[in-house]
Amino acid sequence: MKELFTRLNKVFDNRLRLAIMSILLVDDEADFNRLKEMLDATDGNLASHLRALEKEGYLKVHKKFVGRKPNTTYEVTASGREAFSRHLEALEKILNASRTELSSDNE
């Protein structure tokens, strides 16, 4: 079981990063304000987590103007999709192993 924990990606340890990736994988892309609203996060907190994901190469950032207002949207990169998928697979294996241990303890 110990070996399964080494497969987890530390980048996704944070609740907001996990949520950001989940949202973007479902919706393909989202702008900063939508993510902020969905996650009930402050500007600074959300921005720092988005930067961390971008630094890892997991997010692609698009900046444009809508009228006179700047608008920033985010989407998951192929490497981000792969890393998140491996992280979720590791979580599933840990949960399955835990369930197996629990059921054998109850017998």
Q: How far is CA 107 from CA 64, 93, 102, in A?
A: 60, 21, 9
Residue indicated by tokens 């902020």: 36
pLDDT in tens, the chain (107 residues): 678 788 899 999 999 999 999 999 999 999 999 999 999 999 999 999 999 999 999 999 999 998 899 999 999 999 999 999 999 999 999 998 877 766 666 65
The predicted model scores a pTM of 0.86
Contact status, residue 65 vs residue 71, Cβ threshold 8 Å: yes
Contact status, residue 19 vs residue 98, Cβ threshold 8 Å: no
Residue indicated by tokens 């840990």: 94
* Residues in a beta bridge with 72: 63
CATH number of 14-105: 1.10.10.10
